[in-house]
Every structure is written in C-alpha cells, then in structure tokens.
Structure 1
Amino acid sequence: MGISARELAAATPATRDRYVDLLRVASLAVVVLGHWLMAAVTEDEQIGNLLAVVPELQLVTWVFQVMPVFFFVGGFSHALAHRSRPAYASFLRARLQRLLRPTMVFVAVWGAAALVLQLAGADGGLTGVVLRLVTQPLWFIGIYLAMVAFTPPLLRLHERWGWGAFAVLAGGAVAVDVLRFAAGVPFVEFLNFAFVWLAVHQLGFLRADGMIRRPALLAGAGLVGAAALVALGPYPLSMVGMPGEKVSNMAPPTLALLCHGLWLVGAVELLRGPGARLVARAGVWRAVVAANGIAMTAFLWHLTAMLGVYGAMLGFGVTLPEPASGAWWAQVPLRMGVAVVLTAGLVAVFRRFEAPPRPAPPTASGGPAAALGITLALLGVLGLSMTGFAGLLTGHSATLIAVPVTAPAAVGLALAGWLLVERAGRRRAGGGS
C-alpha cells in the first residue's frame, strides 16, 4: 500500500513552502471549475462558451484565468528540483514521470474509445464534438513539458542575471507583438508561446531565490499594463480564448496575457502571509497533500466528467435550458455536483498512475537523448491537443508548426518521447541501462 496523505502531511519537513502547494492545487481547481462553468451545451448538441453568450462575464477572467499562477509555481518547483538533481536526463525523468504516465493512460483510454465509437458509426452529434474537444486541455501539459525542458539553461541565466533574464523574455514578447500588430509579420506570433509562458515561469525562479520583494508594485504594473493594452491596443477583454475572435490573448499568448500574469503573481504574493497561515493548519495541509496527489488525474478527466453529465442529461431526455437563462443558472449546482462525483469516480480508477514511482539513481549521461525525448513528447502532446480523436479513421489532421499531424502520429511522438526520456534517465554514468 502507498503512503497515506495523513502520513505524508505528518512527514512534511519544516522547510517546505506549503503555500506553493496550496497555490498549485487552488489554481488547477479554479481551471477545472472554470471549464465546467463555461461549457454551454444546447439542445441541438452543440457546445458553446458562456463567455460568448454573456460577454460582460469576460471581465471575470482577469481574476479566474489562473494558468499563469500554475506556471509560476512550476518555475519555483523546477528551480528547487534541478538544484537537487542537476543531471539533465535525471531531472527530466523525475519531473516527467508523474506528468506523462497519467497523460498517456488518458490518451490510451480515449483513443481506444474513439476507435470503437467510429468503427460502430456512433461518433456523430455530441459524441463527435466530445471526441474533438476532450484533448484540448492537453495544450497545458505540452507547454509545461517545454518549461521543464528549458529549466536548466534558463535557471543558469537567472542565476547570472536575475531580473535581467526575465526582462529579456518579456522584451521578446514585446517585440513579437510589435512585429505582429504593427508590422504585420506573418507567423511571428507563435514565438510568444515561448516568450510569454517562459517569462511567467522565470518569475518562479525569482521567487525561489527571494527576489520578488515588491509584489504590490508587480501586481499594480501588471494590472495597469493589461488594462492599457486592452483599452488602447488590439487586445480583447477576455484572458481566455473566445470562439470566432480575430485575436486571442491565449492562443498564441499576447503581451496583455503576460501583464495579466504579472498582476496575478503579484496578487498571490501579497496573499502569501495569510495563505501560509491557512495551510499551516493540520487539517488544511492534509487536504492540500491529498489534492496534490490526484491533481493531474483530476485535471485530465474533468472534461470527460462534465461532458458525461451533459450526455446523460440528453440521453435521459432532461431539458437543457438556453445557456445563461435563469433555468440554466438554476441547474448549475446540480451539474457541478454530478461532475464532482463523476470526476471522483474517474480519479479513484486512474489515480494509481499518478503515484510517485521509485526514484532511479542519478546519471550524468543521456542528456542529448533526454532532450530529444522531451521534444518529441511535447510535440506529440501539443499535436494531440489540436487534432482530438475525431476522424481517426479518415486521417483528420491539424497543423503543428507548419506540419500536418494526425492523432495516431501525435500519440506515437508522445509515447516515443516519453520512453526515450525514461531510458536516458535510468542510464548509469558507466553506460549501462
């Protein structure tokens, strides 16, 4: 049997920054609840976005678009992890195991289900939409893999230049948006997937070394900057992607989203004192430890649960009210409650794949193979987030960095990359495996 959350909580060293763990759990929980709330399924089995139905609600994304907080926390954790395990292959393997194992199980289960449904000709209507949408949250895992891959070189730059390393990445984001919006340079906007998210990640390095000393200034500058860019520039109000929008702040990320990230990071740092006192309570800390142990599994399966709720409602003839109507809002607690129960059931089935594996002895070799492996893995995961599982038998593809990719090819890339990192991370310094 594994170690219980109570035992893990009791064994927590006094030096651990528990507030970081609270932020990790809280940010993922907000993302999950946001996805559940934004999904607006109609009687004709189409899935819309609540923020498009009620545009005034887009302002709440300035508080509840918390993915920058998760990436900020990731930077903090990656800095500490790399310093304790500096060999590149060992570091990658250790960081990827609890990320890619549950992800590949999710991909295998949904891939098999999609194949069966399409062979049976039962992939129309809402089922077809689900097969297309269920993999979309995997973009987050692909970006996170890139952050892990770039941690060693960017951490070295941070240790040498501090805030200067962040400024270079932020300056890159500024340059990209200038070239995109002022000069009309095609395709340059995709560089901001790196510049914006790696800049947010870099803030985690700064926190790890106690270099965020004026969080109020950071939050104020970010909020003012985001507001000015939205008011005066070509940036939309919503900090999440909206259907049909010509410009999205999320895909690709914009300078406005980077400012939003600064505002959120400053805000959570301002709350550090009360947050630390909260998580110091034994019961709260046990809950945080337990939630961290299943967070990735819950994230992977939460859309499956919510879409399952809507599918069951349609299957049993329950009327789906017009999105954002009074009846629709009245149904929200019921839909959320059932989604929580379904997610808990899925977590109970699949949580064992997120359990921490036995650590392998550190190795000084395998760096190039590990670098190739994580590159393949992140390309595969990003590709699958774009293609979905619809059209497996018809060769449906999506364009990933100017190259068409199908779902089977994306799965193959992710699996090959994961296995390559595993093998490289296990190899002993003497060359054995």
Structure 2
Amino acid sequence: MTTGADARLAQRDLTLDLARVSCVLLVVVIHLLFVGVGHGPDGQLLIERTVEAQPWFAAATWLGDVMPLFFVVGGFAAMAGWRSLERRGGDADAFVRLRLVRLARPALPLLAFLALALVGAALLGVDPLLVDTVAIGIGSPLWFLAAYVLAQALAPAMIRLHERAPLRTLALLALAACLVDAARLGTGIPQLGMVNVVVVWVAVQQLGFWMHDGWFRQRSPWALAGIVLAGYALLLVLVPFAGYSPSMLSNQYPPTVPMLVLGAIQAAALTLLHRPLAALMETRPARAVVWLAGSRLMTIYLWHLPIIMVLTGLQLLLPLPLPEPGSSVWWATRIPMLLAVLGVVWLLSLWLVRYERSPSHLADPVHPGRAATVAAVLLFAIAPFLIMELGLDALLAGIGVVGTTAAIWLVRGGRARLVAP
C-alpha cells in the first residue's frame, strides 16, 4: 500500500472501514453457500439454496446477517460527511448528489450487463425457467441500492432531527416501524411492509448518528455487553410472540423491527470490539486489505453474484465435476470457489474501479437544484425496488439502465460524460 493511501486511512476510524469490508466479504461467502448447483446421486442436475436447508441456518442468521451494520456504519459516515460538507459551504442537495453518484455509477455497468445478458439468453432460446431462477438470484442483492440511497437522501433532514431530539426521533421511528409491522402481520397484506423499507433502515441509520456522537463509546464495556445480551433476549421474545420469521434474512426485506434491534446489537458489539479491531488495523497487512477492498467495495458487492453464476455455468458447460450440493466434497469446494470469485472480481475491478470515483464538482451547492436531485434519487431507486418486488428480467434491467443514466445526468447537470473516470 502506498504512503498516500496510508495517510488517507490514518485520518479515518479504521475499525469502521474494517467492518464495512468484512460485511461485504461475508455477504460474498453467504451467497456462495446459497448457490448449490451440482449433480445428485442419480446424475440429475440439482439447483438449490444449500445453506438455507441446514438446520442451523436460521440461528446462524442472528449472528451472520450484517445488513443492519451496513446502515449503522452508513449513518456514521453520513454524519461525518455532512458535517465536513457543511464546513466547506455545501448543502443538503450537494450531499445527496455525492451519495447518489457513489451508488449509481458502479451500478450502471452491472445493469447494462444484466440487460444485455438477459436479452441474449432470450434470443438464444435458453430455458426461461433456468433464466428466471438465475436472474432472481442475481437480482436479490439489488434492493440494497434503493434502500440505501433513500436512507442517505434523507440523512441531512434526519441529522437535523437527531441534533434537536435524538431519543425522540429514534423512538418515533421505532414506533412507526412497529405500527407498520403490526398492520402487515395483522392484515396479512405483505405490501404494507414496503413502508418499512424507509422507516426501518432510516431508524437503523440513526444508530450510526448516535455512534458518531460518541454515545456508544461513552458506555462501559459491561453496558455494551448488556445491550448485546438485552437485544438478543428481546429478539427471543419478539420473534415468536409477534410471528416474525426465525431467519433474520427473511426479516430483511421488507425490513422488520428485528432489523432495528439487530442494528443496536451490532452497533454495541462493534464498539465493544473497538480496541482489538483498532490494534488489528495498526498492522500494514490489515490496512492493505482494507484499502484494496474498500476502494472497490461496490464492485465486489454488485458483481460477486453474477461472477458466481458465470463460474458455475462454466463448470456445467466444460463439463467439470460438480459434487452434490450439501455433500462434504461440496463444502470443501467452497474455499477454492471463493478464491476464484474474488480473483475474477478483482480482475474486473481493474477497469470497473473508475466507476467508484465521484466527480468533485458535485459538491457545488448551486447546481443543478433540488427538483433535479429528488428526481434523480427516485429514478435511480425505482428499478432496484421493482426488481426486488417482481424479480429481475430484461425489461427491469433496461429500466434500471435508463433510470440510472438519467439520474447521473441530472445530478451532473447534463454537462459531462456519464461514465467519465
């Protein structure tokens, strides 16, 4: 790692960068364990979500579902970024434009690739059922784009509310999340839960504001451990009593109150582990990994599932031996498969990393204006939201390309090349 990169990292709380990188890599591992493609004892092709069938899976998600931590760390970063931007004369529109482009630019090449691949599969006459199965799997993580951009777009307003009344703001958001869940569970209408795509993740993001203010850091280790234990005790009562799924992944979309509880647990646990994690980040190897992965984190998140599917497809076409999903041989192959996926993503990132850089002029407080910024957020969010609701297909991928391109054009004022590095 270069001295310049080392200096930039030294200005940050590196435990948060480590948490962010670790979370993304854990997502890659989990998705790799989901993709069970192989041959059964009778030689027939098997396609299954292998890890989900394990008896310990639901319990493991109480520890392994790190999505709330993404929003906690995102809230911390939003507070830090907002205050820095304010000191430099920026405003809320500038903040939202910067956050939007950091998501939209990396997403654009992926959406274009998916649209072309799905159209190509249709023209080649590939089995539609197989295409749908693969497309739904690839499209499943894209909900994060819609949820995260909406939470970040609301961050300036929510920071103001937090500064005026932090406890009241968080309590009202938690109450709203409870009411939405009660309406969804009570009526059996799942669409009502869509309101919590904003409410729950914005509430979890508030915990990041509390972390930035030092509230968690000011608690003793025993108090932080108490928050963790109390949070899990609450989940043990809340999940069966309210009728939530015992799998936290099922509570992730639409997000439910357990995600907010899990966010508090993870914020406290991260603070509790701050000292050993900070010591780890004093080592150059750890800093090198954080710098390398952190500079292309969106590329890793967005492209790992397509790469998993492509590598699996190559194994089928060559053909290479594919062990039965869930067998001991299959579990053993997950390690080399993980290394292969990360290696291919790294090769892709040599070109795609340019999309993770944001033009500096977006911090201009005058251009292009509030209406364009709001429209850009909605244009970008609509396709990931629809993909999660309806499943990925060529039409929705195409809508994503058009909406994302328009969003980038709007926030850049239509005056620069959309994909300029």
Q: What is the TM-score normalised by the length of structure 2?
A: 0.87
The separation in 1 between residues aligned to 2:363 and 2:196, in whole angstroms, is 36
The separation in 1 between residues aligned to 2:372 and 2:269, in whole angstroms, is 40
Mapping of 1:346-361 within 5 angstroms?
346-360=348-362
The separation in 2 between residues aligned to 1:265 and 1:272, in whole angstroms, is 11
Q: Which runs of 5+ in 1 are unaligned?
A: 242-248, 396-405, 427-433
Asked whether the 8 Å contact 1:173–1:192 carries over to 2, the reply is yes
1:162 aligns with 2:166: yes
Asked whether the 8 Å contact 2:299–2:345 carries over to 1, the reply is no
Structure 1 residues 367-423: Cα deviation after superposition (integer angstroms, max 9, x where no partner): 232122112211233224445553x3xx6xxxxxxxxxx443343233322322222
Residues 1:183 and 1:117: Cα distance change in structure 2 (over 3 Å):
closer
Show the counterpart of 2:419: none
The separation in 1 between residues aligned to 2:397 and 2:296, in whole angstroms, is 26
1:378 aligns with 2:374: no
Show the counterpart of 1:219: 228
The separation in 1 between residues aligned to 2:178 and 2:127, in whole angstroms, is 43
Partner of 1:239, secondary structure, is coil
Out of 124-133 and 297-306, give the one that drifted further: 124-133
Structure 1 residues 135-193: Cα deviation after superposition (integer angstroms, max 9, x where no partner): 22111111110111100110100000112211111111112222233465664322221
Partner of 1:40, secondary structure, is strand
1:71 Cα offset (Å)? 1.0
The separation in 1 between residues aligned to 2:375 and 2:3, in whole angstroms, is 38
The Cα RMSD (Å) is 2.5
Show the counterpart of 1:78: 78
Mapping of 1:98-137 within 5 angstroms?
98-122=102-126, 124=128, 126-137=130-141
Mapping of 1:152-231 within 5 angstroms?
152-182=156-186, 187-212=191-216, 213-214=218-219, 215-231=224-240
Asked whether the 8 Å contact 2:375–2:407 carries over to 1, the reply is yes
Residue 16 (structure 2) aligned to one of 20, 28, 46: 20
Show the counterpart of 2:27: 31
The separation in 1 between residues aligned to 2:109 and 2:190, in whole angstroms, is 37
1:234 aligns with 2:243: yes
1:13 Cα offset (Å)? 6.9
Asked whether the 8 Å contact 2:114–2:397 carries over to 1, the reply is no
The separation in 2 between residues aligned to 1:124 and 1:179, in whole angstroms, is 36
The separation in 2 between residues aligned to 1:136 and 1:181, in whole angstroms, is 23
**Which has the higher relative contact order, 1 or 2, with Cα contacts under 8 A spaced 6 or more apart?**
2
The separation in 2 between residues aligned to 1:211 and 1:148, in whole angstroms, is 21
Show the counterpart of 2:405: 415
Show the counterpart of 1:401: none
Out of 167-176 and 34-43, give the one that drifted further: 34-43
What amino acid is aligned across from residue 194 of structure 2 in structure 1? F
Structure 1 residues 47-103: Cα deviation after superposition (integer angstroms, max 9, x where no partner): 422243213222111111101111110001111111222412211222222321111
What amino acid is aligned across from residue 384 of structure 2 in structure 1? V
Q: What is the TM-score normalised by the length of structure 1?
A: 0.85
Show the counterpart of 1:40: 36
The separation in 2 between residues aligned to 1:12 and 1:62, in whole angstroms, is 34
The separation in 1 between residues aligned to 2:164 and 2:232, in whole angstroms, is 28
What amino acid is aligned across from residue 165 of structure 1 in structure 2? T
Residues 1:60 and 1:109: Cα distance change in structure 2 (over 3 Å):
same
The separation in 2 between residues aligned to 1:408 and 1:207, in whole angstroms, is 39
| Structure with a larger share of its residues in helix | 2
What amino acid is aligned across from residue 304 of structure 1 in structure 2? P
1:68 aligns with 2:77: no
Partner of 2:247, secondary structure, is coil
Partner of 1:121, secondary structure, is coil
What amino acid is aligned across from residue 409 of structure 1 in structure 2? I
Structure 1 residues 328-378: Cα deviation after superposition (integer angstroms, max 9, x where no partner): 223222322322222222222322222343444521451232122112211
Equivalent residues, number: 402
